[in-house]
Structure 1
Amino acid sequence: MKLELRGITKVFGTFVANDAIDLVVEPGEIHSLLGENGAGKSTLMNVLYGLYRPDGGQILLDGAPVHFSGPGDAMRAGIGMVHQHFMLVPPFTVAENVMLGNEPGSLGFLDLATARRTVRELSARFNFEIDPDAVVEDLPVGAQQRVEIIKALSRQAKVLVLDEPTAVLTPHETDELMAIMRQLRDEGTSIVFITHKLREVKAVADRITVIRRGRIVGTAEPSADQTELASLMVGRSVALDLDKAPADPGEVALQVKGLGVTDADGIVLLDDVDLDVHHGEVLGVAGVQGNGQTELTEALLGLQSGVRGSILLEGKELVGRSTRQILDAGVGFVPEDRTHDALVADFSVAENLVLDQHHRAPFASGVMLRPGAIRQRATAEVAEFDVRTGSIDDAVSTLSGGNQQKVVMARALGRDLSLFIASQPTRGVDVGSIEFLHRRIVAERDKGTPVVIVSTELDEVIQLSDRIAVMYRGGILGVVPADEDRDVLGLMMAGYTLEAAREAVAAGARTSDSILADEGDIV
């Protein structure tokens, strides 16, 4: 199916989100829509999907104009969309989610057997390995995304929109998704791939359209240089490699000894972790998501129960202290899930920027808030971090994902810190903003602050870190210099000891998937 958008315009008040956009997606093509967060990519696709009505322009499918009053019309016309934040009902099974809104059956009875059969057929066809009776909330993120794709394909989608599909995926899950995209393309499905990640665009796209501030600013082939694409995205030259001076670490500021976390069922989530972090250094934590990184950062913040061991910050014990007390001790924290753990969706941008300090001067006097001080802080932080918002009084839920992340980072870094901890600091953030946030993190290091960065993006860990701790199954496999061979790090993330990984790389292994090791070499 050929998709054409002609002169699509969408306006919110005085803000022009899409300005006379023209876009053509050919049948059986992966067309990447590349741009910064807030550039208007998702708005454009929400117009296509019937979630928004355009204020100008028209949509054509195979040359025929169409008009959508809602997503149901778009789906019936053959358009499917997988949103960045999944539209699934967590307590429902896979089959129940797939049939939701398109329930097979008759005389008021649901035909769940047909839904199960559809899931099995599509899962087998694309090697998804999805159980139709699995409860969605029990599935990992990558599997939930496959459920969304199955849901779209079950409605005979001929044009599939993927909105920032890799934002919550591990590198391995990202590779699997790209293989799925290629298979769909080869079978004739047209794909619109919305992203801001240059490496992924070059790896999978057939054509690239760049959008900036609501307008198309250029088109490119996948062979285009990454620097050229980045410049088109942000309208200026962008340094893709972080240029930072060597660290000048001081005394140990954070000392973690024998740290463990056990859940209510007696399962060990974090096992005997030892770490030291010095003043003026960045300790990066690498690992495939789900190997204890979340429990580590939450234990440091007093968010985990069942904690044993010791966490000393400037010689003072943090274990047993409340999260409020730890934050008040000068710890800045960026949690991995901004939606659930970092922001209050209905609160304004200004209110979210003082969530960790709203009870203290200058933002409060006794039990009374001081709106003037809150607004002054918000205005300064929005400007410094280039948060794209119409007003500091707008609900933070109205911001794009990347701009929400900037709010979280601005809040954590907007005060004097004794320790900065960030989990997935640039998740969902565009290349121009990543450049700024990375420099801001290094600037915090250079002030003498100890910094702990957790990221599933190995490139990010390598660029930011002075030392790297690799986690596997709740423990630390080793701490290595930041210039350690990338393939050694990859093998350690798969469970190799440092010595075994170095031997494997010396023998010619290049990735964690390329060789099998003896059991004695793997933890």
Structure 2
Amino acid sequence: MTSLHPTNAQRSEGAAAAPLAIELVGINKHFGPVHANRDIHLAIKRGTVHGIVGENGAGKSTLMSILYGFYTADSGEIRVNGTPATIADSRHALALGIGMVHQHFMLVDNFSVLENVVLGAEDSAFLAPTLSKARTQLKALARDYGLEVDPDAIIENLSVGQQQRVEILKALYRGAETLILDEPTGVLTPDEADHLFRILGKLREEGKTIILITHKLREIMAITDEVSVMRQGAMVRTLTTKETSPGELAELMVGRRVLLRVEKGPANPGKVLLDVQDLVVTDDFKVPRVKGVSFQVRAGEIVGIAGVAGNGQSELLESIAGMRDQLLGTIRLNGEVLSLEGDDGAARARAAGLAHVPEDRLRMGLVTTFSEWENSILGYQHTYGSGPGLDIAKARATAEDYIKKFDIRPPNLDLKTANFSGGNQQKIVLAREMERNPDVLIVGQPTRGVDIGAIEFIHNQIIKMRDAGKAILLVSVELDEIRSLADRILVIFDGHIVGEADPATADETELGLLMTGSHASSGKETN
């Protein structure tokens, strides 16, 4: 492979002459004994949206990290606009017109949008001229592609969707002609995801090439021109999107037929296990986010809470789980009032029979520097002894059992949790909480960032718990997931429960209006 550092003009000329923006030829990559990419051949047409799908751990992100210069392939060739190229790091990738928007954003929280965009791309030691030029270019980019964001806003004050726009602006400001997006909608609301796809459509119209890594087949069908399927590190097939179907893609990804719907019988609700009355919860700034909420969840049923992110769901779950103090109200578990205040509130909730799968597995569900077996007992470690008396053999046996039951890959007890894919990290958390036989399970975003095969497995586990007589409270920004799993749907808006719906007859438009407050009642609560 030869080095290539073209100017923007040379890059444009090359792109005009080459029908392919990117070619990967015979790419191989090993991490120790793991063969992450196996003789990958991939051709991406210029001016198209090309999807790459596969299960967690299939090698998608590794392949794109090679293209962006984070990793170096053991063998194979990269061609950009028909010319062989060596990509030693991300600066080389950017010089070749390749930008990447990562699943976890690479932004400095206390810098402004403008400062983040120019960081590392300053023209000289004098920052003022660079900022002035960047401000002008950002206005043009925002106008051309619908990437509106205040250049003087501080990153930590922006929504997740706005932060993602900043990442795209960073890449475009640096001259990206090919843009890689890794699971771009995993943390977006439905409205933000729709806006993102409108942006991608405009980028395609302007001749940009988009590589989209996602596990959401609906998004693949909606936005891509072609889609490539990876499985176990190998490229299985590339198809024209309009000539395939979600079912075919799912089967290619997993290697077997996958049910794209949830199969469950009718619920048989029993006694009330979780009773929440007049709950008021504030956020970290003491602003009320849950405003007098009341509801019940019975044994043998799944109650889903639907709503646009940021309407109090997170604070509600954290309060019930004992992770956030309640300002007012009562929470009863199995008829007994739960006292959850203080630093040990979560431990008291677990002791009372409540298990919690948090919305953000990395921030609240795992210690990523710990090994798999350590995370498998996290929060329950006292049941294995303490200090020098910790029964490590028993803890490791428990983790090994979870690995088998939940098909956690790779099956390595000692691997740091940071080195597992997102879907397998989620399985570690789910196994730990579900296998404790709780009376009540509260689950936030159960399949966020999880591939199609793991989604099917997770949904089946939740249904099994319901059928075993457990009470399950489910929060998800995926309306299809709520409608498929829940036996009753409660809609939350601005901290209030504004409606209840039967999933069997729920109208998506009506639910959407409730979720945005368009049909909100006067704050009437429901059981």
Q: Is the TM value for this pair above 0.5?
A: yes
Are the structure 2 counterparts of residues 109 and 183 from structure 1 closer, same or farther at C-alpha, using a change threshold of 3 Å? closer
Asked if 2 retains the 8 angstrom alpha-carbon contact of 1:286 and 1:469, the reply is yes
Q: How does 1:28-43 map to 2 (within 5 A)?
A: 28-43=47-62
Q: In the aligned structure 1, how far is the partner of 2:37 from the partner of 2:156?
A: 35
1:454 aligns to 2:475 (yes or no): yes
1:155-166 alignment runs, 5 A limit: 155-166=174-185
Do residues 304 (structure 1) and 324 (structure 2) align? yes
Given the superposition, is the C-alpha separation of residues 346 and 266 from structure 1 closer, same or farther in structure 2, using an over 3 Å criterion? closer
Residue of structure 2 in register with 1:341 after alignment: 364
Secondary structure of residue in 2 paired with 1:408: helix
Q: Secondary structure at the match of 2:52?
A: strand
Letter aligned with residue 391 of structure 1? N
Who is 1:59 aligned against? Answer: 78
- When residues 366 and 396 of structure 1 are mapped into structure 2, their CA distance, relative to the original with a 3 A threshold, is closer
Poorly superposed stretches of 4+, deviation over 4 Å: 107-110, 263-266
In 2: Cα distance, 1:122 partner to 1:318 partner: 53
Cα deviation for residue 254 of structure 1 reads 0.8
Number of the residue aligned with 2:406 = 385
Aligned partner letter, 1:410: A
* Aligned partner of 2:110 among 91, 103, 116: 91
Aligned residue runs from structure 1 range 204-283, under 5 A: 204-223=223-242, 224-263=244-283, 266-283=286-303
- Residue aligning to 1:487: 509
Equivalent-residue separation in structure 2 for 1:197 and 1:276 (angstroms): 32
- Number of the residue aligned with 1:119: 138
Q: Deviations over 1:407-432 (max 9, x none)?
A: 11111112110110000000011111
Matching residue of 1:354? 377
Gaps of 5+ in 1: 501-523
CA displacement 1:368-411 (0-9 Å, x = unmatched): 32211121111111122122226221111111112111111111
Provide the C-alpha distance between the structure 1 equivalents of 2:181 and 2:449, rounded to a whole number of angstroms. Answer: 14
1:424-467 per-residue CA deviation (whole Å, 9 max, x = no partner) reads 00001111111110000000011111000000000000010000
Structure 2 counterparts to residues 397-408 of structure 1, below 5 A: 397-408=418-429
Is the 1:253–1:313 contact (alpha carbons within 8 Å) kept by the matching residues of 2? yes
Give the match for residue 133 of structure 1. Answer: 152
Match of 2:192 among 149, 158, 173: 173
Residue pair 1:96, 1:115 contacting (<8 A) in 2 also:
no
**1:313 matched residue in structure 2:** 333
| Deviation per residue, 1:41-88 (Å, 9 max, x gap) | 000000000000100101001211111111111111110000111111
The 3-state SS of whatever aligns with 2:241 is: coil
The question of whether the paired residues in 2 share the 8 Å contact of 1:345 and 1:395 is answered with yes
Give the number of equivalent residue pairs.
498
**How do residues 41-52 of structure 1 correspond to structure 2 at under 5 angstroms?**
41-52=60-71
Distance in 2 separating the partners of 1:176 and 1:193: 15
Which TM-score applies when normalising by structure 2? 0.92
Contact preservation (8 Å) 1:263, 1:306: no
Comparing 364-373 and 96-105, the one that deviates more: 364-373
Structure 2 Cα separation of the partners of residues 126 and 425 of structure 1? 33
Task: Indicate if the aligned counterparts of 1:161 and 1:191 stay in contact, CA closer than 8 A.
Answer: yes
**Offset, 1:266:** 4.8
Give the percent of matched residue pairs that are identical in Structure 1 and Structure 2. Answer: 45
- How far apart, in 1, do the equivalents of 2:84 and 2:101 lie? 23
- Partner-residue secondary structure (3-state), 2:368: coil
Where does residue 207 of structure 2 map in the other structure?
A: 188
Rounded to whole Å, the distance in 2 between the matches of 1:203 and 1:264 is 38
CA distance in 1, matches of 2:105, 2:126: 31
1:436-475 matched pairs, under 5 angstroms: 436-475=457-496
Q: Which residue of 2 aligns with 1:510?
A: none
Cα distance in 1 between the residues matched to 2:368 and 2:340 = 30
For structure 1, which segment, 112-121 or 340-349, has the greater mean C-alpha deviation from structure 2 after superposition? 112-121
TM (norm. structure 1) is 0.92
Deviation at 1:120, TM superposition (A): 2.4
Q: Which residue does 2:6 correspond to in 1?
A: none
Q: RMSD over aligned Cα, in angstroms?
A: 1.6
Matches within 5 A, 1:15-30: 15-30=34-49
2:380 matches 1:372: no
Match of 1:506 in 2: none
2:427 matches 1:411: no
Distance across 2 between alignment mates of 1:139 and 1:63: 39
Task: Give per-residue Cα distances to partners, 1:257-291, cap 9 Å, x unaligned.
Answer: 10011346552211110101000100000000011
What is the distance in 1 between the residues matched to 2:271 and 2:340? Answer: 24
| Preserved contact between residue 283 and residue 451 of structure 1 (Cα < 8 Å) | yes
Select the residue among 99, 122, 138 that pairs with 1:80.
Answer: 99
Distance (Å, rounded) in 2 between the aligned partners of 1:252 and 1:10: 53
| In structure 2, C-alpha distance between the alignment counterparts of 1:426 and 1:438, rounded to whole Å | 9
Compare 255-264 and 309-318 and name the one that shifted more.
255-264
> How far does the alpha carbon of each residue in 1:10-40 deviate from its partner, in whole angstroms, 9 at most, with x for none?
1000100000000011110111011111100
Which whole-Å CA distance do the structure 2 matches of 1:84 and 1:265 have between them? 27
